[in-house]
Chain A
Amino acid sequence: MRFLRSLTGANLPASVATVVIGAVTLILPMMLNAPDLITYVTIGLSTMVVAGLSLLIGFAGQVSLGQGAFYGFGAYAAAIMALHGWPPLLALVAAVAMTAAIAGIVGAVLLRLEGHALAFGTLALQLIFLSVLNQTPSFTGGAVGLTSIPSLTIGPIAISSYRSYAYLVWVVAAAVLVVSRNITRSRPGRGLRAMATSPAAASATGVNVVSYKLRDFALSAAFAGLGGAIYAFFLGYISPDAFPVMLSIEFLIMVVVGGLGTISGAYVGAAAITIISQVLTAIGTAPTLPPQLPNVLSEGVYALLLIALLRFVPDGVVGLASRITKRLLPTRWRPVAGHKVAPAPAPGRVVLEDAGSPDHDAAAADPGQGTSPAREALSRPLTSTDG
């Protein structure tokens, strides 16, 4: 159990959950048929996007309504380069770098302003992206899109079957989650967390707020671009219809369902919303029902989920689950004590340091509870944790 804890850095229930989810994730592709494998891959791709967006909203306190555009940009960039004869893997890497660069340019402008500027700016970016796609048929295929995109090849291995994509996507998704988790526990992560609580206090302790937000935003775009690029190779064809504004909003809802700023929430939110949307489509498309019903159902359910969760469960499904398990489990299995009850740390040591509790992740979404990380940051020098 010690090993598990050190592996996941979390409490026992979370460790068990991680192992179970990991095992199920590995076994599932062998049992699923083709349509379900597509859903399975979609969940993995969404997980990548949502992990990035969750970092952005939960830590930088910035809402992006353009993740669908970054996803689409990654897909188109990778597809166009691969169709022009680039090796697919190189096209994939270049597409991710280009997506991050675009976000860097846009973010450098918008992140100096209040949160709503990024929300509307990225939404504008998505509308411009769709408009440009439709206007440049010779380059992007216009409304028809691009077809016969080659499969991904990594060295000598060609990835072509749905099942091999399922494994590839989950390896990449797991890597994205690990990177995200490590970021939240690194110095920039602690800085971001302090920033989410109070930008002024964080700035006063030496956190370069704009630079951290910008890197966070570029990373979230890179994750989205990565998901999009794999999506293009996986399906083999892409069109503007695959990247509507609603896609960006779906990613946002996945973040809120999973819990703002929780890393495991990315997976939970992506899986929950993908499955809910398929169930709703199945219900709505029954014969004798009006044709717009599937959209009404999905938009209505998404909207109500979004509004209700933000109000009543701001730390999402993951936060709720960890609160419930804490209450139900016998004392000795309970999570490592969070920092509300932790003994006072030695001066200069635990600055913004992680106490290994999921509370910590949730703190970003609900600054009203627990000790404010920014206040801690103010009381001790931030620089002493470096090195």
Chain B
Amino acid sequence: MSALVQYLITGISQGFLLALLATGFVVIYRVTKVVNFAQGAFVVFGGFITYSLLGAGVPQGVSEVLAVLASAAIGLVFGAVTILGKMTPTASLITTIGLAILSEAVAMLVWGTVPLTFSGLSGHDLHIAGIFVQPQYLLLIGASIVVLLVLWLVLERTYVGKGMTACASNPYAARLSGINVKAMGLLSFAIGGALGGVGGVLITPLFPITYDSDVNLAILGFAAAIVGWLTNPGLALAGGLAFGVSEELVAGYWSDANQTAVALALMIVLLLWQSHRRQQVEKLV
């Protein structure tokens, strides 16, 4: 029983990390129709930059905020490289793959190949349902909820958010009504970067990350985003939680080595279901 609770808490925390990544995929895809392969790199940079700032003696909270801002800036640059100018969808996709490899090279050069971590929220472990839980898990869950809620408010209630939604539903009409579609695309990349940065800042104290953590993170985040058809943030959140929890349960009750393979097989099944659904839609049309 206590093992199950442990797996659930770890799984839900992982799930929120995946949800942050998946939301980044969704925000960027909706506005630019680009699937950003380099999404996992934002997590790595968020974690590593915090680590370096803490090492330089910057206070914890300030380091974390600066790391998130830096990730947003990296996202902005990635967006500029990916969407500015005349790029075909295939070229954009391959460019983001290039950016992911470049990020790995930079991370390896600056921070080396050893897994890095830093201490998160201090305080005693909390006693929940018969097990002890590090407060950082609760911080990860709580902060993710707040970030996703704020993002939802921004997208639904502000002028800029509505502009992004307009670009998502009809870029041509959005441009005609005076919205700068490219600027909105860049903004979406910055938001994607910030979301990944938040994930990196929160997860690194719990699970040390390495320069090459980004591939697994990107692919699992994509899998979660696929649950929401890459456009629905709510379903992407549900997908993130489902993948996070099922991964932990597989690791806990079966084997560590199988967890990623099982999650990826699940993703392929999801894609199968989607393609089946699409065929039925085509039949109806």
Q: Which residues of A are interface residues toward B (Cβ below 8 A)?
A: 57, 61, 63, 65, 106, 109-110, 112-113, 115-117, 119-121, 123-125, 127-128, 131-132, 134-135, 245, 249, 252, 256, 260, 290, 292, 295-297, 299-300, 302-304, 306-307, 310-311, 314, 365-368
Residue of B nearest to A246 (CB): B101
Contacts of A132 in B (CB 8 A): 261
A112 touches B261 (CB 8 A): no
Contacts of B86 in A (CB 8 A): 368
- List 7 A-B pairs, minimum CB-CB distance, nearest first: A303-B102, A306-B98, A116-B35, A300-B105, A124-B264, A299-B105, A131-B261
Q: Contact partner of A310 among B91, B108, B219, B257, CB < 8 A?
A: B91
Interface range, B side: 35 or more
Q: Which residues of B are interface residues toward A (Cβ below 8 A)?
A: 35, 37, 81, 85-91, 93-95, 97-99, 101-102, 104-106, 108-109, 112-113, 215-216, 219, 222-223, 226, 257-258, 260-261, 264-265, 267-268, 271-272, 274-275, 278-279
Residues of B contacting A: mostly: helix
Q: Contact partner of A131 among B109, B260, B274, CB < 8 A?
A: B260
Q: Give the docked Cα–Cα distance between A63 and B267 (Å).
A: 18
Q: Contact partner of A303 among B91, B99, B219, B261, CB < 8 A?
A: B99
Nearest-Cβ distance from residue A312 to partner chain B, whole angstroms: 10
A303 touches B101 (CB 8 A): yes
B271 touches A249 (CB 8 A): no
Q: Give the docked Cα–Cα distance between A10 and B34 (Å).
A: 36
Contacts of B109 in A (CB 8 A): 292, 296, 300
Residue of B nearest to A60 (CB): B90
15 contacts between A and B (CB under 8 A): A61-B89, A61-B90, A109-B272, A113-B271, A113-B275, A115-B93, A116-B35, A116-B93, A117-B271, A119-B93, A134-B257, A252-B97, A260-B90, A307-B102, A310-B94
Nearest-Cβ distance from residue A210 to partner chain B, whole angstroms: 10
Q: Contact partner of B85 among A252, A256, A295, A311, CB < 8 A?
A: A311
Q: Give the docked Cα–Cα distance between A290 and B95 (Å).
A: 28
B275 touches A310 (CB 8 A): no
Q: A117-B271, A304-B98, A310-B94 are in contact. List 17 more A-B contacts (CB 8 A).
A: A63-B90, A113-B271, A113-B278, A121-B268, A124-B223, A127-B261, A131-B258, A131-B261, A132-B261, A252-B94, A295-B105, A302-B98, A302-B101, A304-B102, A307-B95, A311-B87, A365-B88
Nearest-Cβ distance from residue B216 to partner chain A, whole angstroms: 8
Q: Give the docked Cα–Cα distance between A325 and B265 (Å).
A: 49
Residue of B nearest to A134 (CB): B257
Nearest-Cβ distance from residue A105 to partner chain B, whole angstroms: 10
Q: Give the docked Cα–Cα distance between A290 and B108 (Å).
A: 11
Contacts of A302 in B (CB 8 A): 98, 101
Nearest-Cβ distance from residue B30 to partner chain A, whole angstroms: 13
Nearest-Cβ distance from residue B222 to partner chain A, whole angstroms: 5
B268 touches A124 (CB 8 A): yes
Contacts of B226 in A (CB 8 A): 117, 120
Nearest-Cβ distance from residue A116 to partner chain B, whole angstroms: 4
Nearest-Cβ distance from residue A13 to partner chain B, whole angstroms: 27
B219 touches A127 (CB 8 A): yes
B215 touches A245 (CB 8 A): yes
Q: Contact partner of A295 among B94, B108, B219, B258, CB < 8 A?
A: B108
Contacts of B112 in A (CB 8 A): 290, 292
B93 touches A300 (CB 8 A): no
B106 touches A300 (CB 8 A): yes
Q: Give the docked Cα–Cα distance between A131 and B222 (Å).
A: 19
B113 touches A303 (CB 8 A): no
Residue of B nearest to A118 (CB): B271
B98 touches A296 (CB 8 A): no
Q: Give the docked Cα–Cα distance between A304 and B108 (Å).
A: 16
Nearest-Cβ distance from residue B94 to partner chain A, whole angstroms: 6
Q: Contact partner of B95 among A61, A115, A297, A310, CB < 8 A?
A: A310
Nearest-Cβ distance from residue A239 to partner chain B, whole angstroms: 17
Contacts of A311 in B (CB 8 A): 81, 85, 87, 91, 95
Q: Give the docked Cα–Cα distance between A304 and B95 (Å).
A: 10
Contacts of A252 in B (CB 8 A): 94, 97
B271 touches A110 (CB 8 A): yes
Residue of B nearest to A132 (CB): B261
Q: Give the docked Cα–Cα distance between A377 and B85 (Å).
A: 28
Contacts of A120 in B (CB 8 A): 35, 219, 222-223, 226, 267
Q: Give the docked Cα–Cα distance between A357 and B93 (Å).
A: 28
Q: Give the docked Cα–Cα distance between A36 and B142 (Å).
A: 58
